[in-house]
Amino acid sequence: MEHIGLLDVHHLTVGYPDGGRVLQDISLHIHEGEIVCVIGESGCGKSTLLNAILQMPGRLHITEGEILFRGRNLRTLPREEVRRLRGTGMGMVFQEPGASMDPIRKIGAQFYETMRAHAPISRREAMGQAEDLLARLDLQDTRRILGSYPVELSGGQKQRVAIALAMALRPDILLADEPTSALDVTVQAQIVEELMRLRDDFGTALLVVTHNMGVVSRMADKVAVMYGGRIVEYGYRHDVMTAPAHPYTRALMDAIPRPDGTPPKAIPGVRTKKEFDYPCPFLDRCPYAHPACRTEKAEKIPIHGEHWTLCNAGFKGGAAS
C-alpha cells in the first residue's frame, strides 16, 4: 500500500447525519518522529480531523476512508482496542488544557491513574516518571505541581501538564489541537520549543493543528493547508511557505506582517457554508477563479516531490509578496 507509515489517513470524509460534509477526501501520511502542522482558519475542519483520527467524531459520522495506525485500520478495530491505543499509541492535547484534567483531583493522582490504567505501576514509580516529564517541559517545583489541583495552576503550567499527561504512556504520536492559542507570545514560543524537544527525546511524531503561521514556520517538517474541509496544499514547510502553490496559501502568506513594515493583506471576501459543497472550497474568495472552477472538481496537482495542490485555476504559485 502507498505511504505505509506511522499514521496514514486515506480519503477520509466526515459529515453530519443529514449528509452535510465537514471533511472531504482527506489524506495524510505521518512517519516516525515527523512533525506535520495542519493550518487553516477556524471552522475549516482541523479539530474534526484530530477527533476523527482518535475515533471520537461526536455527533459527526465517518462516512468514507481509512485511518491506519501502523497499518491497522482504526475504523475496523474493536472499540476496546482503539481505547487502549489512545494513550499508548496516540496522545491528545486539547485546545483547552483543562479538558483533559479532572478539576477535583490533584495532578499527581491523574498521572497515576492514567499510567496504571494501561499497565501495573507503583505510585512511587508513576510520580517519578511524572516529575521527569514535567521537568522536561521546564516546570519548576514539580512536587508542588503534582500536589496541586488544576485550578491552582497558571495557563502555561496547565498546558504543560496537559502535554505531560498526554505523553505519560510514551505514545508514538501526539495530536495537539491549537496547543499555543490561549497563551501569551513568550509562553507560546516556549511550548513550541518544548514540544520539539519531546520529539527529539522520545522520537514522538506530532500532528499539530494551528492557525498560527509562526508555529508552522518554527516547528513543522511538513504542512497541510486546510480550507472548507479539504487539504488544498501539502508539502515540506520550505516548499509551501516559500513557493505557495494554492491561492489560499498565498493569501495566508500575504496576511503575515512583514519585518520591513509592509502591511499585511486581508483575505478578500468572507467564508460561507457553501464552500463545503463547491468543487473548489476557495471558489468565492479566489482572485484566480474561472467559470470552470464552479463545475469541475478541483484535482490534486503535483508540484515537486511530496508538494501538491488542489487547484484547477491555473495559479502558478511562487513567493508570497
Are 180 and 186 contacting, i.e. CB atoms less than 8 angstroms apart? Answer: no
Taking the CA atoms of residue 114, residue 117, residue 122 and residue 127 in that order, the dihedral angle to the nearest 10 degrees is 0
CA–CA separation, 60 and 54 (whole Å):
13
- Give the helix ranges, DSSP H, for the chain: 46-53, 79-88, 107-116, 123-136, 142-146, 155-166, 185-202, 213-219, 237-242, 247-254
Please report, for residues 85, 165, 280, the alpha-carbon distance to residue 221 in angstroms, rounded to integers and kept in the order given: 25, 24, 26
Taking the CA atoms of residue 53, residue 55, residue 60 and residue 65 in that order, the dihedral angle to the nearest 10 degrees is 60
CA–CA separation, 11 and 2 (whole Å):
13
Angle CA 59–63–65, to nearest 5: 125
Superfamily of domain 7-310 in the CATH hierarchy: P-loop containing nucleotide triphosphate hydrolases (3.40.50.300)
Helices (H) and strands (E) in the chain, counts: 10, 12
280: DSSP letter: S
DSSP string over 110-125: HHHHHHHTTS---HHH
| Helix (H/G/I), strand (E/B), else coil: 184 | coil
Sheet containing 173-177: which strands, arranged edge to edge? 90-93, 173-177, 205-210, 35-39, 222-227, 230-236, 307-310, 300-304
CA–CA separation, 37 and 180 (whole Å):
13
Q: Which helix (H) or strand (E) covers residue 309, if one does?
A: strand 307-310
How does pLDDT run along the chain (321 residues), one tens digit per residue? 455 689 999 999 999 888 788 999 999 999 999 999 999 998 899 999 999 999 998 889 999 999 999 999 999 999 999 999 998 999 999 988 888 899 999 999 999 999 998 889 999 999 999 999 999 999 999 999 999 999 999 999 999 999 999 999 999 999 999 998 878 899 999 999 999 999 999 999 999 999 999 999 999 999 999 999 999 999 999 999 999 999 999 999 998 887 887 888 888 888 888 888 888 999 999 988 888 888 888 889 999 999 999 998 766 555 444
Cell output for 240 = 509551501
The predicted structure's pLDDT at residue 259: 80
Are 307 and 236 contacting, i.e. CB atoms less than 8 angstroms apart? Answer: yes
- The domain locations on the chain are 7-310
**Other residues' Cβ atoms within 10 Å of the Cβ of residue 136:** 17
**Other residues' Cβ atoms within 10 Å of the Cβ of residue 48:** 22
209 strand-pairing partners: 38, 177
Cell output for 27 = 489524506
Q: Give the residue from 9, 57, 200, 105 showing the smallest Cα distance to 113.
A: 105
Query: pTM of the entire structure?
Result: 0.92
CA–CA separation, 283 and 300 (whole Å):
16
Q: Give the residue from 274, 271, 221, 215 showing the smallest Cα distance to 248.
A: 271
Lookup result for grid cell 499585511: 264
Taking the CA atoms of residue 28, residue 301, residue 213 and residue 42 in that order, the dihedral angle to the nearest 10 degrees is -70
Length of the chain: 321
The predicted structure's pLDDT at residue 315: 60
Biggest distance spanned by C-alpha atoms of the chain:
67
